[in-house]
Amino acid sequence: MKRYIIPLLAIASFIYAIDYTITRNPKRGNTVPSAPPPETTSDTTVAAEGLVEPRSENISLSCPVSGLVTKVYVKVGDRVRSGEPLFALDDRELVADLGVRRASLAAYQARLVKLQQAPRPEEVPPAEARVAEAKAQLGDADVQVRLIESVTDRRAVRQEDVERRRLNLQAAQARLDEAEKNLVLTKAGTWSADLAVAQADVDQAAAAVRQDEINIDRLTMRAPVNGIILQNKVRLGQYAQAGILSDPLMVFGAGTGLHVRADVDENDAWRVRPGSPALARLRGNSKISFPLEFVRFEPYVIPKQSLTGNVTERVDTRVLQVIYQFKDPKAAVFDGQQLDIFIETPLGSHREAVK
């Protein structure tokens, strides 16, 4: 039995291995695309790659300072007018500081008003009363001096008393002068230099209030112009970073209608003329096309960037960018969509180049 069983098992294993290999081998067939790629039908056209964008180009919105997002006023697709709020950052610290500075401004303003209204009507009568008192004291001192000087017998009075009464008279005269000058000072009101200092304090406090108000207003990002929200990466509670971001907080588009930015290879750039019409074909279905109108050239020829959205991804050629607009403002395309562009060129220039 060993002479027959072992060879039969070997043959059966070999047959099973062949069958397993054949049945498990993936069958590869030709994949037919849903629509053939677009082709030019004329030797007078220049092919280019196009990217749909708003009239203003894509505006990447950021914030002037970093902070916590506390409010989001818009969503993707919303049309907003210039100055409307988009989102806001946490402003509690600045609001509290603004209250302190407004209180300081109110105190400085009250002090300025007090100085401007000086003297108070109630302050003049006491000053006048002090002048009258000083006059009475001066009169009494004068009487005392005349009395002691009227004594004919110098042995009846001491010379010390005479000198003391004369000094009292001089002191009374000085007090009267002081009271009269204080009365004049009171009636004159506040000195102009003091008013200037008080006004400067008010201006400084008002500037501090305006500074806080501006800083608070800066925490609310607003639409720069009339437009539409194309992309929104802002979420409540998110910490928004200031500056240029690789992934912008919001992408904004201004203007009505869409443009197409066509990248023309530098080798074909000489064939494109201002005003040349073009035809855009939709990728995925080349049967759908849109006629385009020339808008302008971007006069600076730039290194070509592959249309993946990554600005660091480049190829070894340069392109001339030509801006077109859709003849049909209701063309069924989306911002950021890629199109194949075919630009008509003058037949004569092409033939001259061939010759």
pLDDT in tens, 238-266: 999 998 888 899 999 887 788 999 998 88
- Region for 228 from its dihedrals, namely left if φ exceeds 0, alpha if ψ lies in -120 to 50, beta otherwise: beta
pLDDT at 288: 86
- Picking from 194, 206, 191, the residue whose alpha carbon sits closest to that of residue 107 is 206
Q: Is the dihedral of CA 269, 271, 272, 273 positive or negative?
A: positive
Residues of the chain with pLDDT under 70: 1-3, 26-36, 40-42, 155, 306-316, 347-355
355: enclosing H helix or E strand: none
CA distance 200 to 202: 5
CA distance 263 to 343: 11
Amino acid at 242: A
CB within 8 Å of 33: residues ≥ 6 apart? none
Our measurement of the distance from residue 238's CA atom to the centroid of its chain's CA atoms, rounded to an integer in Å, reads: 18
CA distance 227 to 83: 11
3-state secondary structure of 274: coil
CB within 8 Å of 284: residues ≥ 6 apart? 34, 35
Q: Which two tokens stand for residue 17?
A: 């291995």
The DSSP-derived string for 107-172 is: HHHHHHHHHHTPSPGGGHHHHHHHHHHHHHHHHHHHHHHHHHHT-S-GGGS-HHHHHHHHHHHHHH
Q: Look up tokens 């991804």; give the residue.
A: 313
pLDDT at 149: 77
pLDDT at 354: 44
pLDDT at 353: 47
Instruction: Report CA Rg, the chain.
Output: 47
**CB-based contact 50:68 (threshold 8 Å):** no
3-state secondary structure of 236: coil
End-to-end CA distance of the chain: 89
Other beta carbons within 10 angstroms of residue 177's beta carbon come to 13
pLDDT at 312: 54
**Extended strands (E) in the chain:** 45-54, 59-61, 67-72, 79-80, 85-89, 220-222, 227-232, 239-240, 250-254, 258-265, 278-282, 285-305, 314-326, 338-344
**CB-based contact 89:70 (threshold 8 Å):** yes
pLDDT at 112: 92
Backbone angles phi, psi at 263, to 5 degrees: -95, 110
**CB-based contact 333:290 (threshold 8 Å):** yes
Q: Which two tokens stand for residue 208?
A: 């501090």
- Picking from 316, 317, 314, 319, the residue whose alpha carbon sits closest to that of residue 300 is 319
Burial 247-284 (b: 16+ CB within 10 A, else e): ebbbbbbbeeebbbbbbbeeebbebbeeebebbbbbbe
Q: Is this prediction's pTM over 0.85?
A: no
